[in-house]
Amino acid sequence: MKYWPTLILTLLPLRLPAQIQGDMTTYRSIERIYSQQSAERDTSRLMIMTFPADSDTFYVDRVRFGAFIRDTTATVKLDTQNIPVYPSGAVTDQFYLEPGWNSYTFIIDGKKGRDSLSFRLFRREAVPQLPATPTIISEDGQSPETDRFYYTPEVITVRMVASPGGKAQFKIPHLTSGYLPMQELPRENTGGKTGVYEGTYRIQPGDRCQRQKVKFYLKGMDGRSRKMKSPGRITVFDRRQPLVLETVEDNTLIYYSPNGEIMTELQAGFLLEGLSRTGRWWKVRLSPQQEGYVSRNSVNQVPDGRAIPKYLAYGITTEVDSDWVHLEFHLSGKAIYRLSQNDDPQSVTIRFFNTRFQDEWSRYPESDSLIQNYFWQQNGSDMDFTVILNSDQQWGFKGRYEGNLFRLSLRKPPIISRDRPFENLIIALDAGHGGKHKGALGSTGLMEKDVNLVYTKFLAAMLDSAGARVILTRDRDTTMFLRPRAEIAAENRAHIMVWMHNNSTGWTRHPDEAVGTSTYYTHLQGWPFARATYPHLLDLGLEPEGRVHRAYFMTRQTDFVVFLVEGAFLSNPRDEMWLMKDAHLKLLARAVLLGLNDRLMELAK
């Protein structure tokens, strides 16, 4: 049985507490905002193109477009194709692009007569699929594309795109002894393309070369031979000492692969071994068992002679305050670390890279029930320390060095009662985008930043009525970057942050294909709230887009529980019409409220 506080089910009236009212004169109604935006449009044209812009350049063969027309009884043709006009005035479909310039003409027939709108877009040609004969090596798709630098024995991988079915080789002057073989990759590894050849060379001790282009050679199926040089150059240093890098800024991100998943986030002052550099990325070694990638702007090279330390851990002490339990690790230096959560059982694990326990002793907190147990284990050169929690829900975790002392902080759970589950909670609401950052744009010109703020304020009023203390990271149309939003939530000791957004599809998908609602999370502590909210969003009649794991900046914050709500797709004309109604945005806010309530009632004592 579910216990619903009476106020939670009430949609109207909506009361905003004084501290979160903001500029409600302008932003109390999405219908008013949209009406004002429509009145400001150019009335001399029957149709106004919203996106893309005239003369834009794309690398794809199709691009969605959006436009607005006031006369919804008018007919619209793109060249000879009839384009539907939605009741909102949205006109949306796709442009199909050939390589080079593409010209389009819209013809609009309405009550005010006939109008035309001409448009041009440019498509750059991607690397083509080459025929088996005649034998060709493409000028595009060669790797290395940019200069590479190797500072330790590594495997060099090179690629070329050419006619399929040939015999391919490569050499690197002053490095390889003649040509080495390359293999044509199977289609499943190349996105369905043939003629992608790959070769490798393992750097040997004593190898060195300076700014050498890779020389490719191909003998095709027609018996003809072709040669090509790579655009990027390779340099191999014959180093007798490790290349040591030091992080120079807080919030330095270490990735598993370039632009891939984030492994950990470090402060300034950590030492890494540099292995190689390509473009803006350093490949680094965190320990003999773990490599990663870091932006070259985040690190500086340390003068030769500095060693990468091996660290020792001497023991753990604990401290407790009103909000957090702190575990303090005494180490010989600033070992690189990675934090992760587990839910079976509820626990937090910290891995210290290149670290061993020297003298293991651990002191449990004197008076706290959050920690059930903890233990450590050695994994090769790295040390894992796991804390088992007495809790069905984790409420926050963070780690930071103070000198050589590392502090792992675990958030205490709030008291949740069945009668008033929100009463002891601090909930931060972040209306995505704002000011110069418009977010997604509907075909009619409806801006995500406005929709987000309106339904965020509706939810704020409902949460306030239910007894929560509500924090708004922005309460008006102002430009804000992401980090200050997270800092506002942390400084106000938020237990939960809801990141309030609406969605948009990419340029290449048809606007009708992407539709519906979704929730997102990164850390396991956000998953139960994302899970509980999603069914209530579906109850509104929105199509299912899914519950999604993804590492956005805001959702990877760990000081509090955080999850993302994507209400609907502004790029979809039907979803856009749904978002134009204040009544629907109140229902959207109420769905989030009910999701929060469901999860809290699962945790209530």
* Each residue's pLDDT tens digit, 270-289: 999 999 999 999 999 999 99
- Do the domains 148-236 and 243-301 sit in the same CATH topology, yes or no? no
Rounded distance between C-alpha atoms, residue 490 and residue 137, angstroms: 55
CATH of domain 47-123: 2.60.40.10
Rounded distance between C-alpha atoms, residue 520 and residue 186, angstroms: 34
Q: Which long-range contacts (CB under 8 A, 24 or more apart) does 67-72 make?
A: 67/91, 67/92, 67/106, 67/117, 67/443, 68/41, 68/443, 68/444, 68/445, 69/108, 69/110, 70/38, 70/41, 70/43, 70/46, 71/46, 71/110, 71/111, 71/112
Rounded distance between C-alpha atoms, residue 398 and residue 558, angstroms: 6
Rounded distance between C-alpha atoms, residue 289 and residue 293, angstroms: 14
Q: Which of 404, 156, 93 is CA-nearest to residue 283?
A: 156
Rounded distance between C-alpha atoms, residue 239 and residue 203, angstroms: 12
Positions in the chain whose pLDDT score sits under 70: 1-28, 360, 367
Question: Is the distance from CB of 413 to CB of 391 less than 8 angstroms?
Answer: yes
pLDDT reported for residue 223: 96
Positive or negative, the Cα torsion across 474, 478, 481, 483? negative
Rounded distance between C-alpha atoms, residue 312 and residue 335, angstroms: 9
Q: Which of 466, 473, 426, 467 is CA-nearest to residue 449?
A: 473
Instruction: Sketch the domain layout of the chain as residue ranges.
Output: 6-32+417-603, 47-123, 148-236, 243-301, 324-411
Query: In which order are the strands placed within the sheet that holds 337-343?
Result: 337-343, 346-352, 382-389, 371-379
Homologous superfamily (CATH) of 243-301 is SH3 Domains (2.30.30.40)
* Each residue's pLDDT tens digit, 42-71: 778 899 999 999 999 998 899 999 999 989
Q: How far is CA 139 from CA 11, 126, 196, 215, 270, in A?
A: 62, 11, 13, 13, 41
Residue 463 CA to chain centroid, in angstroms? 28
Rounded distance between C-alpha atoms, residue 284 and residue 274, angstroms: 5
Question: Is the distance from CB of 139 to CB of 73 less than 8 angstroms?
Answer: no
DSSP secondary structure code for residue 178 in this structure:
S
Query: In which order are the strands placed within the sheet that holds 90-96?
Result: 47-51, 62-69, 90-96
pLDDT reported for residue 28: 67
Question: What string of H, E and C letters represents the secondary structure of 184-235?
Answer: ECCHHHCCCCCCEEEEEEECCCCCCEEEEEEEEEEECCCCCEEEEEEEEEEE
Name the packing angle between helices 448-465 and 582-603 (round to 10°).
50
Asked: is 148-236 a CATH 2.60.40 domain? The reply is yes
Question: Is the distance from CB of 116 to CB of 107 less than 8 angstroms?
Answer: yes
> What is the topology classification, in CATH, of domain 6-32+417-603?
Aminopeptidase (3.40.630)
Residue 111, burial from CB neighbour count under 10 angstroms (0-12, 13-18, 19+): exposed
CA atoms within 13 A on the CB side of 364: 13
Positive or negative, the Cα torsion across 504, 509, 512, 516? negative
The phi and psi torsions of 38 (rounded to 5 degrees) equal: -65, -40
Buried b / exposed e over 554-592, threshold 16 CB at 10 Å, is bbbbbbbbbbbbbbbbbbbbbbbbbbbeeebbbbbbbbb
The verdict on whether omega for the bond into residue 303 sits within 30 degrees of 0, i.e. cis, is no
- Which amino acid is present at 195? G
CA atoms within 13 A on the CB side of 399: 25
What percent of the chain has a predicted confidence (pLDDT) above 90? 81
Q: Is 177 left (phi over 0), alpha (psi -120 to 50) or beta?
A: beta
Total-model pTM: 0.89
